[in-house]
Amino acid sequence: MKSLKRRKRGTSIVETAAGLFIIIPIVLFLFDVAAAVLAQTANDSMCKSAARAAAETDTAGKAQAAAQTAVDNFPAAGYIRSKRLFRPVDYRGTSVTVVTEIVCRFPVPIPFGGPSQMNFVTDMTEPVVGTL
């Protein structure tokens, strides 16, 4: 009777350990996916903010400066390695296009040579409203 009870307890410990070998990597992967989704969302928001700031100006130089200021003032979470204007602002007189990039550092890097970061690039076009 005692040996049967010990055997069942030992079996449940082995099953729990085996289950954790499967569950833990899945949970860690979900942390990386969540960071990537949040970084893409932040990049979309930052790009929209920069495009709006650039659209409220009346020259290409002012548009570039306004977009850069918007990017510099955008709050970055801990998982964001860097944020920048990806290329110069495209000011066309009636519209302005801004392209931004955020580099997301994965909270749990993929072992054995997997990527430790991901780059997100977004572009937004806004009509110019700064000219009167």
Does residue 112 surpass a pLDDT of 90? no
State residue 8's pLDDT score.
64
Whether 8 is in a domain gets the answer yes
Residue 9 located in a structural domain:
yes
| Predicted confidence (pLDDT) at residue 86 exceeds the cutoff of 60 | yes
Quote the pLDDT of residue 3: 60
- Amino acid, res. 21: F
Instruction: Give me the domain span that covers residue 11.
Output: 2-127
Give domain status of residue 132, yes or no. no
The one-letter code for the residue type at 100 is T
Residue-wise pLDDT for 3-48, tens only, equals: 655 566 678 888 888 888 899 989 988 999 999 999 999 999 999 9
Specify whether the CB–CB gap between 104 and 80 falls below 8 A.
yes
The pLDDT assigned to 13 comes to: 85
Question: What pLDDT is stored for residue 131 in this prediction?
Answer: 62
Q: By percentage, how much of the chain surpasses pLDDT 90?
A: 69
Query: What was the pLDDT predicted at 114?
Result: 81
Domain count across the chain:
1
pLDDT, mean of residues 89-108: 95
Structure tokens at 111: 């072992």
CA nearest 130: which of 64, 52, 48, 57? 57
Q: Is residue 18 part of a domain?
A: yes
Q: What is the mean pLDDT of the chain?
A: 90
Give 8 or 97, the one with higher predicted confidence: 97
Residue 94 falls inside a structural domain: yes
